[in-house]
Amino acid sequence: TGLDLSQDMVAQAQQHHGHLERVHFVAGDLHDAPLPPNSADHVVAINVVYFWNPLLPALNAIRKLLRPGGQLCLGLRDRNSMATLPVFRHGFLTYNGPDLQQALKTAGFVDVRQQIIPEQSINVMGQVMHKTGLVITALNPEVKP
């Protein structure tokens, strides 16, 4: 199941992947997702965490979607990678890694783990962007408090 705020993104995803078995896409806001609570074994969000401002309500919304014991996987680039991109001056949130891990623990996730993935530098509109990827995983506790 793919969820996106943007109708355009959902239409694109549907066009490219909608024919696959057991794959479907829905438009909606994570904070009020049109999906059943406790239904997800895994939630994967790649390059989305920057949009969640403030962060905590989004993490709470993910915990609501995950079944007990379900796993969240966040993929992102770290703050240094993003600092040079002009678009990131416009209200996006960036993370070093430990700060996001702490936020996940504060939201009630457990077994928070981080992998650092160095990437090749790229040229974005004339600016060299040094990139470091982070993959952070965390579990929704088996027994909810």
Ligand X SMILES: C[S@@+](CC[C@H](N)C(=O)[O-])C[C@H]1O[C@@H](n2cnc3c(N)ncnc32)[C@H](O)[C@@H]1O
C-beta separation of 138 from 109 below 8 A: yes
Nearer to ligand X, 5 or 110 (CB): 5
User: What type of residue sits at position 39?
Assistant: S
- Residue 47 makes contact with ligand X by CB under 6 A: yes
H/E element, 114 = strand 110-118
For residue 64, give the 3-state DSSP assignment: helix
Indicate the DSSP class of residue 83.
T
Tokens of 137: 């995983």
Binding range to ligand X, per CB under 6 A, among 28-36, 91-99, 108-116, 130-138: 28-36
The span of 26-34, 89-97, 111-119, 135-143 binding ligand X (CB under 6 A) equals 26-34
What is d(CA 62, CA 93) in angstroms, rounded to the nearest whole number?
Answer: 18
Please report whether residue 13 would count as binding ligand X according to CB under 6 A.
no
Piece of the chain touching ligand X by CB under 6 A; list 1-9, 93-101, 106-114, 117-125: 1-9
Residues near ligand X (CB under 6 A) are 3-6, 9, 29-31, 46-48, 51
